[in-house]
Structure 1
Amino acid sequence: MPGVTRWVEAGAAGDVSDFDRATRDGVTTELGDQVAFVTPSGKTQCMTDEKSDGALACLVSLTDPPPRPAEAYGEWIGGWVEFDGAAVQVGAVRADPGQFSAGTGAELPYGSTLRFGDYQCRSDPDGLFCVNFAHRTAVALSDAGVQPFGCLREVEPPEFVGVRYACE
């Protein structure tokens, strides 16, 4: 975990004020204290949301997303990732696009980092790496999958979630 943290922190620091808005269909939404960003490949877009206490939600174009749980109904989004520091959930049943209805944030260039709340993320051609300092955890997101770091271990997912990693 310390190696991942040092590597993320070593990136070129981005200005968080460049990531406080999202755009959809030419309409820009100011996000206030929240952030939104997308990787240069366009395969991962992330956004925080005041309704989820600043937790990071990302839409990842996973090559092999978790399968839809048998009991799930509604729209299954296998690449919906939620990371609150204590847990990572991959795959979700969503009735609406949540915070992503505001659109997409600015591009976080490869090699750049963005620090917000308890998080710092670094964009890289190999994926997006995000550290949660409060919980001393991290996650790597790419089309190849989701890789947890720190105390995060795979646990039984709740109903309507594909995969869950948690510190238990």
Structure 2
Amino acid sequence: MSELMPIIQLGNPTLRQKAAWVDNIQDEQIQKLIDDLITAVGKANGVGIAAPQVAESYRLFIVASRPNPRYPNAPEMEPTAMINPRITAHSAEVVKGWEGCLSVPGIRGLVPRYQSIEVEYTDRYGNLQKQELTDFVARIFQHEYDHLDGIVFVDRLENTLDMITEQEYQQRVVNNT
């Protein structure tokens, strides 16, 4: 049974470190970390979580898009562990979209990201996967990938005017009021 790991907050130095390469994916500790991350992202109503967000500085994250109170219009997908990921190509088109972060509670920002990306990663079974991701799932991947290099979404904002509180986001964007 996986445990609920505490999610570290902005200011914790681990969030600003470059994460270490995962050498042995089948290591029991790495497999347990994957399970714990899947549990954490579900309980926190997230759509993704990176190992550094639970103070484990490994190049590993979970993409787990699904509708929830924080992202009611998210597409549905199985939680997917992405280990030692890379972006191999990207679209020329960059779009701004709203992002939040479990490590930066209470704030949303309009973040520019590539509309589509081609990625490679190793899955939890040690298999190399190659995919093209678009729209919201591409945004999740880029957001989590940034965590592996010590970058948080607020670093990507073009202007502080692109920030909003979670409460205002829920009222104005989610509820369109």
Common fold: TM-score over 0.5:
no
- TM-score, structure 2 length as denominator? 0.25
**Structure having the larger proportion of residues in helix:** 2
**Structure having the larger proportion of residues in strand:** 1
- TM-score, structure 1 length as denominator? 0.26
